[in-house]
Structure 1
């Protein structure tokens, strides 16, 4: 995927430009550990806390109320943020090396198939990206499940790797 420092507005604008992505679409943030949550989430609901304790690290993206300092390029002026603690140890190590968090969006122009190899990333973006980390070919897997957990009643936005039935049991 394409990543940037979530507080670097120029880098965020560049990602949106590279992808041809509309400004009204928020960008996910992935974090290295739960200590990073307070940088991005203003207040977490009981449901947010229960779900992160049960399913993180893992393939669950939680939507919460964005902290005041989170740039509008991340939130798309929604006042909310999607955040995930990935299950992959190598990804979390990379996140730690990059200050604890990065944005995460698929490596493709909007509407195109996501790149699965370094060669595909290069064919989409050429020299326009600053760094490519070769973790091998990306394998087809279910996307993360996305749950709006900012209020009293969590809402399923997208069912993915974590079944909604498991989320309901955890609550």
Structure 2
């Protein structure tokens, strides 16, 4: 199969392929998604097959407006309108109970709920509107690997496996949307996956919000994507460096003793300090959690393609956007963190 690259002027062609049951990758403000007709079970099954994704993992349904959600949900929790008015289109996914027999279990993962999102990207909103159907849209990559933030990442993973890619340059945020469950019995919204929309921002709109800290094991069925203990992982092992210059020095010296080739993902100050001590570097520029988050997956992908044995990645405080950044980085690193008191063997 030839994977065609579509521009914003060719959305009609891309939407026609979607309606025919084909897979089209699409841009969002977070990462690139792998689009298929959410109402076509065979098309959705192809998403799982192409990604190599476990079928117990539910999919997010992407819509062009809130009216599309109303076709599948009968009762909306009290906070719904405030959340939609404030954060849509944008990087917030909302979980609702859906009408029986609306979506197949290939979409729901066997649950009675579905996650909906309206992405903040004009090309993709036009794609959904012209196709006039909701789209599933997991990240357009091989399952478990770093999510794609450029069309080139998608092409690298899925060329020859999908019909096309709707191109719109690099994404702006770089990590997947915040997932908010609105179906808790006590009515309190629950963050299942952190993203660019923070707990503090949500609480300013709806009051109390809980955070689900549970890490889903490989044998458990998650209620939302991205809840697995290990996820977003390159082939090369990743270690998080949580500390100052001394921690980086200890980690690098340890790796050298082990004769490991080293990749470094860090800000420009750290990169300039250690560039002569490591084998490959990826700088995210200024010491900014926004830039680190935007370039996290691109950096992990880039270093993973180099001839290295270990990636050392810089930590950020777990506040604001840093919660989402560290959530993804910890899963990429399988929870491996090196601190000042770490013992290097």
CA contact (8 A) 2:37 2:133 kept: no
Give the corresponding residue for 2:22. Answer: none
Give the Cα–Cα distance (whole angstroms) in 2 for the partners of residues 8 and 2 of structure 1: 14
Give the Cα–Cα distance (whole angstroms) in 2 for the partners of residues 43 and 112 of structure 1: 36
CA contact (8 A) 1:44 1:150 kept: no
CA contact (8 A) 2:180 2:193 kept: yes
**Unpaired segments of 5 or more residues in structure 2?**
1-32, 207-345
Larger Rg, first or second structure (1 or 2): 2
CA contact (8 A) 1:66 1:75 kept: no
CA contact (8 A) 2:151 2:167 kept: yes
Report the Cα offset of residue 139 of structure 1: 4.6
1:4-36 CA-to-partner distances (Å, cap 9, x unmatched) read 010000010010011111111000011001110
**Unpaired segments of 5 or more residues in structure 1?**
none
- Provide the secondary structure at the position in 2 that maps to 1:74: helix
CA contact (8 A) 2:74 2:98 kept: yes
Give the corresponding residue for 2:85. Answer: 53
Give the corresponding residue for 1:93. Answer: 126
Give the corresponding residue for 1:159. Answer: 194
Give the corresponding residue for 1:63. Answer: 95
Report the Cα offset of residue 96 of structure 1: 0.5
Report the Cα offset of residue 119 of structure 1: 3.6
**1:1-150 maps to which residues of 2 (within 5 A)?**
1-68=33-100, 69-139=102-172, 141-150=174-183
Give the corresponding residue for 2:280. Answer: none
Query: Once superposed, which parts of structure 1, at least 4 consecutive aligned residues long, lie more than 6 Å away?
Result: none
Give the corresponding residue for 2:24. Answer: none
Distance 1:53 1:120, change over 3 A: closer
Q: Which has the higher contact order (CA 8 A, sep 6+)?
A: 1
TM-score normalised over the length of structure 1? 0.91
Give the Cα–Cα distance (whole angstroms) in 1 for the partners of residues 51 and 127 of structure 2: 22
CA contact (8 A) 1:38 1:67 kept: no
The 10-residue stretch of structure 1 (156-165 or 20-29) with the greater mean CA deviation from structure 2:
156-165
Report the Cα offset of residue 52 of structure 1: 1.5
The 10-residue stretch of structure 1 (27-36 or 149-158) with the greater mean CA deviation from structure 2:
149-158
Equivalences, count: 171
TM-score normalised over the length of structure 2? 0.47
- Provide the secondary structure at the position in 1 that maps to 2:89: coil
Report the Cα offset of residue 168 of structure 1: 1.2
